[in-house]
């Protein structure tokens, strides 16, 4: 039986192509909480075993990806939020000085299983807001001199958001690995609801062709 839920790729662009293909061809149509028409595939697991953190070589996409990555690794930019959002990924990562504490923990306890930062917070279940974090948590494991990264997304637009999400988080992974004098290990990206909006149909079909 074809295993379309578990995807292995060497690079982020390869993972993007494979994931879009799987969701488009094996997902089912649903109308989401906003009423948007989507194609959805649930419980998708993407793994990039290599240290490669390359992304699509397009000037506009590169700028968006670099800006997103900078907002995770740069504490000054991490605090910035858009007017329509009550959260920013970088702000939640740096809240209570968590990232520096995680680096210190990995340095003092290399085999720790506690290098985890939650992004989705209990407050998100208690507020009437239009947007809550899609990225839910991240964990780092330092094993045999390599820093591995496992992330979970409750929801991920695999056509429009996945490449930038993956590139930003991989950049953060390398940023931490450099401070530990470690190699970049594998990247595991787990998605509860991997989806594509039907408004992107033409672009997706052109991409897959």
Question: Per-residue pLDDT tens for 83-124?
Answer: 555 568 998 899 999 999 999 999 999 999 999 999 998 887
Name the residue among 177, 189, 93, 99 with its Cα closest to residue 142: 177
Assign 187 to helix, strand or coil: strand
Contact 32, 195 (CB under 8 A): yes
Contact 68, 164 (CB under 8 A): yes
Mean pLDDT of 188-204: 97
- Residue 82 pLDDT > 60: no
Taking the C-alpha atoms of residue 17 and residue 3, their distance in angstroms, rounded to an integer, is 16
Contact 37, 201 (CB under 8 A): no
Q: Identify the residue with better confidence: 30 or 131.
A: 30
Confidence band of 191 (pLDDT split at 50, 70, 90): very high
The predicted structure's pLDDT at residue 128: 65
Q: What are phi and psi of 89, to 5 degrees?
A: -55, -45
- Residue 62 pLDDT > 80: no
pTM of the model: 0.92
Tokens of 106: 């990995």
As a whole-number percent, the residues of the chain with pLDDT over 70 amount to 90
Strands 37-48 and 28-31 turn out to be antiparallel
Residue 117: strand pairing partners: 138
Mean pLDDT of 26-31: 97
Mean pLDDT of 38-51: 96
């Amino acid at each position: 039986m074809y295993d379309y839920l578990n995807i292995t790729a060497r690079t982020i662009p390869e993972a993007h192509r494979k994931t879009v293909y799987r969701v488009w061809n094996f997902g089912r149509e649903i109308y989401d909480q906003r009423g948007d028409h989507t194609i959805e595939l649930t419980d998708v697991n993407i793994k990039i075993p290599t240290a490669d953190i390359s992304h699509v070589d397009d000037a506009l996409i590169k700028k968006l990806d670099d800006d997103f990555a900078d907002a995770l690794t740069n504490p000054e930019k991490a605090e910035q939020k858009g007017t329509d959002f009550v959260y920013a990924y970088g702000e939640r990562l740096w809240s209570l000085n968590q990232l520096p504490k995680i680096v210190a923990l990995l340095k003092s306890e290399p085999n720790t299983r506690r290098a985890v930062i939650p992004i989705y917070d209990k407050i998100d279940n208690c507020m009437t807001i239009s947007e809550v974090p899609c990225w839910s948590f991240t964990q780092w494991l330092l094993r045999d001199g390599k820093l591995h990264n496992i992330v979970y997304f409750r929801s991920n637009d695999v056509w429009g958001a996945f490449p930038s999400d993956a590139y930003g988080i991989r950049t953060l992974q390398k940023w931490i690995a450099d401070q530990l004098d470690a190699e970049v290990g594998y990247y595991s990206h787990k998605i509860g609801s991997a989806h594509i909006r039907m408004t992107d149909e033409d672009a997706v079909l052109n991409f897959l062709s």
